[in-house]
Amino acid sequence: MESTRGKIYITRRLPKEVTSRLQEVFDCKWWDHEDVPVPRELLLQEIKTADGLLSMVTDRIDSELLDAAPRLRAVSNMAVGYDNIQVEEAKKRNVIVCNTPDVLTETTADLTVALLLATSRRLEESAIFLKNDEWKSWSPFLLAGLDVHHKTLGIIGLGRIGQAVARRAFGFGMKVLYYNRHRRMAEEQSLGVEYRDLESLLRESDFVCVLTPLTADTYHLISERELSQMKPTAVLINTARGPVVDEVALYTALKNNQIWAAGLDVFDREPVRASHPLVHLPNVLALPHIGSATVDTRMAMANLAVDNLILALTGKEPKYRVC
């Protein structure tokens, strides 16, 4: 006899302690690989019978997929960003969309600051220098970098993660500027951050961190013009989403030393290969999208995605609902 329980499809292998919580309530199937995304054709097949989907940033949830999913009532994305989901299309079909903010805020802020320190103090170059046995003598300006302390940090997108980065920056005695579409008067008071329009922020900052979501408005928010407004000694950090920065313009700016360096956790099209032009520049530190990648935080995100899905499919309000 066919089960009357709801059906869930999970697009990656997750730890058993996470999936078992879903299995208590639903019939679950999953793509049993951790490192490879579920093939599109298989997802289009599996979604036909699913009431709920637990998705990753690597899954494209678009009208084609939603049209193939007559029973689908909820998509729970294991990420705070949901640029992989056509939210308006989900809304039209009364499909609930959930995400996992907050639990990854501090971890992603840590990584953002790690990139800021590593690029300014040339940590990757220095470590490679040593591993290549090139260290022959102490010398006055050997691998000399930039100071971070007491410099000016510009945060583009002072949301949850942006504020967590600001709190860390104050520990380094930095002055913190921010640019958002809306001023945050409460945070200006409580944190001591100062609002600037985008151009002023770019002109005044020694470090610029991009922390907006990827939307139609933020696509290529940082392009040739914005890069030309930055100081030649400025460092750009992108831990948001790759397409917020125009990679071709960034490559040119870095190659011509129009800006000092960049720290990138995200790229236009991921995964990037080692042959990607930006990865090879000596003034770029490139990471494979590991902003929230600590064991504790990934477990928290997975558990929150499960909570959201259970709540949404049992007629209750999910903890974090996009639509």
Q: Which residues are catalytic?
A: 241, 270, 289
Q: Quick one: tokens of 320?
A: 């974090």
Q: How far is the CB of 218 from ligand NAP (least distance, A)?
A: 5
Q: Based on the shown chain and the rule CB under 6 A, indicate whether residue 194 belongs to the binding site for ligand NAP.
A: no
Q: Based on the shown chain and the rule CB under 6 A, indicate whether residue 55 belongs to the binding site for ligand NAP.
A: no
Q: Of 12-20, 36-44, 199-207, 208-216, which part binds ligand NAP (CB under 6 A)? A: 208-216
Would you say 166 or 310 has its CB closer to ligand NAP?
166
- Distance, CA of 85 to CA of 152 (rounded, Å): 35
* Three-state secondary structure readout of 192-253: CCEECCHHHHHHHCCEEEECCCCCCCCCCCECHHHHHCCCCCCEEEECCCHHHECHHHHHHH
* 122 CB-side CA count, 13 A: 16
Contact 309, 22 (CB under 8 A): yes
Residues in contact with ligand NAP, shown as a per-residue x/- string from 218 to 257 under the rule CB under 6 A: x--------------------xxx----------------
28 forms bridges with which residues in the sheet?
8
Q: Based on the shown chain and the rule CB under 6 A, indicate whether residue 199 belongs to the binding site for ligand NAP.
A: no
Would you say 18 or 156 has its CB closer to ligand NAP?
156
Q: Coil, strand or helix: which one is 8? A: strand
Q: Based on the shown chain and the rule CB under 6 A, indicate whether residue 217 belongs to the binding site for ligand NAP.
A: yes
Q: Based on the shown chain and the rule CB under 6 A, indicate whether residue 202 belongs to the binding site for ligand NAP.
A: no
Residue closest to ligand NAP (Cβ): 159
Q: Based on the shown chain and the rule CB under 6 A, indicate whether residue 197 belongs to the binding site for ligand NAP.
A: no
- Distance, CA of 240 to CA of 245 (rounded, Å): 9
Q: Of 34-42, 215-223, 297-305, 311-319, which part binds ligand NAP (CB under 6 A)? A: 215-223
Q: Based on the shown chain and the rule CB under 6 A, indicate whether residue 209 belongs to the binding site for ligand NAP.
A: no
Q: Based on the shown chain and the rule CB under 6 A, indicate whether residue 277 belongs to the binding site for ligand NAP.
A: no
Choosing from 37, 145, 213, 277, the residue that interacts with ligand NAP (CB under 6 A) is 213
Would you say 229 or 292 has its CB closer to ligand NAP?
292
Whole-Å CA distances, 111 to 36, 129, 178, 288, 293: 24, 23, 19, 12, 9
Instruction: Please enumerate in sequence order all residues whose Cβ is within 8 A of that of 209, keeping only pairs 6 or more positions apart, or say none.
Output: 112, 116, 153, 154, 155, 156, 162, 165, 237, 238, 239
For binding to ligand NAP (CB under 6 A), which residues are involved?
Answer: 80-81, 101, 104-105, 108, 157-162, 179-182, 211-215, 217-218, 239-241, 265-266, 289, 291-292
